[in-house]
Amino acid sequence: MTDPVSRTILLLDIERFSDRDDVEQAYLRRMLYDITDRALEAAGIDETLRLRADRGDSVMELIEASAPVTALLRSLLTEVPAQLRTVNRMASRSAQIRLRGVVATGWVAVDEHDGWVGSDLNHACRLLDAQVLRAALRERSDDFVLCVSDPLYAGVVRHDHTGIPEAEFHAVTVDSKNGPLKAWLYGPVPAVAAGEDHGDTGEGEASGGSGDRPTPRVPPQSGPAPDRGAPAPGPVFGGAVTIGGGTVRGEQNNVTGNHIGGDFTIGRKGGGRGEGV
């Protein structure tokens, strides 16, 4: 295995690839690689600075650290959407191509089987497969959605370089078997994914989880009782009221706040034990 080297990691994945037949899949793969090549060429990153791995419905690129990440991000935010619009305008409904993308930085080594090894690469792959990224693509009319890793955001995006609007990137938290991964989604966070695997750290979210699935939602178990307001006023009695026997005269207020006016009787008539006061 080679020594780990610092690389920019680019991942692009085709939405609903497995839903297509063999002819459509072959076409989509050609479009994916063509769009990737055009985007990297537009960023000034030629083939000598890239190492590609084929993953069927996705492409993985290891890019030399000397290549400017700002140019890559600008190209992904402009060139890729433009290429997708051009391709899809001429394609049938079954051949429409929509992409999820992730850009990350980290240390990667290549083993004796030409496999790529590194925890930073694993984290980037989990971001690519995150439900928040899938939901964002489903909810948007655009054909491309992009997420960047937290280290890349801190080192590049947050400085608001030209063509990379920092305000358009929103923090999300992806749950994984190795713990939560913070990342930054370009564009609005999808409402359908709220509280599942991104950015929701408030009450009602259970800690932990199984595998890469979102942790279950649970209702809050404590907190102040809701204010139900004052009790509704009771009936108001006027004139003489007889209940059983004895009589009470004058206005009275009972323990529940009911106002009683006039005369009424309690107990038995005729001055027995129940005669009122």
CA 237/CA 248 separation, integer angstroms: 12
- Fill in the amino acid letter for 29: R
**1-15, 66-80, 189-203, 226-240: segment of lowest average pLDDT:** 226-240
CA 171/CA 148 separation, integer angstroms: 10
Q: Cα–Cα distances in Å, from 37 out to 61, 135, 197, 230?
A: 10, 26, 32, 70
Write the CATH number for 140: 3.30.70.1230
> Quick one: average pLDDT of 46-67?
92
Whole-number pLDDT of residue 261: 53
* Claim to verify: residue 52 and residue 185 sit in the same structural domain: yes
Q: Is residue 199 part of a domain?
A: no
Contacts of residue 239, Cβ cutoff 8 Å, sequence gap at least 6: 261, 262, 263
Contact 208, 224 (CB under 8 A): no
pLDDT of 246 higher than 90 = no
Q: Cα–Cα distances in Å, from 97 out to 25, 31, 60, 88?
A: 10, 8, 17, 7
Q: Is residue 259 part of a domain?
A: yes
* Claim to verify: residue 171 and residue 42 sit in the same structural domain: yes
> How does pLDDT run across 128-166, given as a tens digit for each residue?
999 999 999 999 989 999 999 999 999 999 999 999 999
Q: Is residue 200 part of a domain?
A: no
Whole-number pLDDT of residue 208: 31
Whole-number pLDDT of residue 193: 57
Whole-number pLDDT of residue 111: 84
Whole-number pLDDT of residue 179: 82
* Claim to verify: residue 179 and residue 250 sit in the same structural domain: no
Domain that holds residue 12: 5-193
Q: Which two tokens stand for residue 213?
A: 């699935």
pLDDT of 237 higher than 50 = no
Whole-number pLDDT of residue 24: 93
> 181 or 191: whose pLDDT is higher?
181
> 252 or 4: whose pLDDT is higher?
4
Q: Cα–Cα distances in Å, from 31 out to 8, 13, 25?
A: 22, 12, 10
* Claim to verify: residue 82 and residue 168 sit in the same structural domain: yes
Whole-number pLDDT of residue 255: 42
> Quick one: average pLDDT of 61-80?
96
pLDDT tier at 206 (50, 70, 90 boundaries)? very low
Q: Is residue 31 part of a domain?
A: yes
Whole-number pLDDT of residue 276: 44
Q: What is the pTM of this model?
A: 0.69
Q: Cα–Cα distances in Å, from 215 out to 24, 136, 277?
A: 36, 19, 67
How many C-beta atoms surround the C-beta of residue 50 within 10 A?
18
Q: Is residue 32 part of a domain?
A: yes
User: What mean pLDDT is reported for the chain?
Assistant: 78
Count of domains forming the chain: 2
Q: Is residue 215 part of a domain?
A: no
* Claim to verify: residue 20 and residue 90 sit in the same structural domain: yes
Contacts of residue 269, Cβ cutoff 8 Å, sequence gap at least 6: 242, 245, 246
* Claim to verify: residue 110 and residue 178 sit in the same structural domain: yes
> Quick one: average pLDDT of 99-123?
91
Q: Is residue 203 part of a domain?
A: no
CA 259/CA 236 separation, integer angstroms: 5
Whole-number pLDDT of residue 124: 95
pLDDT of 30 higher than 60 = yes
